[in-house]
Amino acid sequence: MALIVHLETSTKICSVALSQDGCILFSKADMNGPSHAVQLGLFVDEALKVAEEKGLKLDAVAVSSGPGSYTGLRIGVSMAKGLAFGSDAKVITVPTLDLLADQFRQKVNLPDNALICPMLDARRMEVYTAFYDVHGLCVEPVSAQIIDENSFADKLQNHPVWFVGDGAEKCQSKITSGNAHFEENSYPLAEAMMPLAEKAFKENIFADTAYFEPFYLKDFVATVSKKQIIPTKNLVGLCKK
């Protein structure tokens, strides 16, 4: 089986893992972020040192592909491309919500009719979300949703639903159905990417290293600080001169 380094930077958590033959050889996470620009390179260096000490060659780089933090995804994908080009390795993309759902599904025994709803915080009461069954099959595709008291009422009427991820925590006050269950402190982690990444490698599902871009779901919008350095009235005066 392949030697794969895994990078997860889609949320405030920065994590890196190294795996081979279904075993984790290295795993490290910074839970105090966001600190991707500082920590990611350090963690990758540690992972590659483990591979070097074992005389192993990197076969693939798996990276969380979004949706999620715009800046975090850019940093992770840039690192993945650099590693792939430098090591002549393949790139494997792992959708962030697939990862969150699979990570939760692997550690919890769920009833057959249960649904898993991973949620990533998209600020205010908006989340990036999708639905999966207990076998990991996506039954409702990724979308951006504004959460209110009626959100997912049709599914909650017929299924127990487990909400996971940093977006789920803020929704507990809105989604109050007895069928709603919330997993707290749940974030996608690099070491949990291993099953999905190894499956993709076995099936020869790789990204185009040069042209792959993260899946942001929504366009990035830069905002302007409300604290103006020069008052508007002074700007008008400058324009007239």
Residue 72 within a domain: yes
| pLDDT digits 0-9 by tens, 33-74 | 888 999 999 999 999 999 999 999 999 999 999 999 999 999
| pLDDT digits 0-9 by tens, 138-163 | 999 999 999 999 999 999 999 999 99
Q: State how beta strands 138-146 and 90-94 pair.
A: unpaired
Same domain? For 125 and 198 the reply is no
Same domain? For 75 and 7 the reply is yes
Residue 71 within a domain: yes
Same domain? For 71 and 111 the reply is no
In this model, does residue 77 exceed pLDDT 70?
yes
Q: What is the domain-level CATH number for residue 77?
A: 3.30.420.40
Residue 223's pLDDT band (cuts 50, 70, 90): very low
Residue 233 within a domain: no
Q: Where are the alpha helices (DSSP H) in the chain?
A: 36-53, 70-87, 96-107, 153-158, 166-169, 194-202, 232-240
| Alpha-carbon span 121 to 170, nearest angstrom | 8
In this model, does residue 173 exceed pLDDT 80?
yes
| Alpha-carbon span 155 to 56, nearest angstrom | 47
Please tell me the predicted confidence (pLDDT) of residue 1: 72
pTM score: 0.89
What phi, psi does 157 have (nearest 5°)?
-70, -30
Same domain? For 104 and 169 the reply is yes
Which domain, by its residues, includes 122? 97-182
The tally of domains found in the chain comes to: 2
In the predicted model, what is the mean pLDDT of residues 20-35?
Answer: 94
Q: State how beta strands 126-133 and 138-146 pair.
A: antiparallel
